[in-house]
Amino acid sequence: MGGGGAEHGHGAEGAHSDFRAKVWSMSGGPNCRPKHWRRNTAIAMFGVFLICIPIAMKSAELEVSLLILLI
């Protein structure tokens, strides 16, 4: 049937080796240290604030307008 050779980590050494070296993930796994991660995080946070602040301002403006209409 399947067999399960060493290339799949089912061999005799598979039980003793670290499986994380063979696992792929989008985040890069447990030893991931992308280049310039601090700069990239700062740019992303700046983008979030750049988008969220005008939305919050408009939301507050509309809320005040709604309160005036209800009075």
So what's the pLDDT on residue 5?
54
Name the stretches of the chain with pLDDT < 70.
1-16, 20-21, 23-32, 66-71
Dihedral, CA of residue 4, residue 10, residue 12 and residue 18, to nearest 10: 160
Q: What is the predicted pLDDT for the residue at 36?
A: 85
Alpha carbons 53 and 38: distance in angstroms, whole number? 22
> Chain-centre distance of CA 41, in angstroms?
11
End-to-end CA distance of the chain: 77
| Per-residue model confidence (pLDDT) at position 44 | 95
Does residue 44 contact residue 57 with C-beta atoms inside 8 Å? no
pLDDT recorded at residue 62 = 85
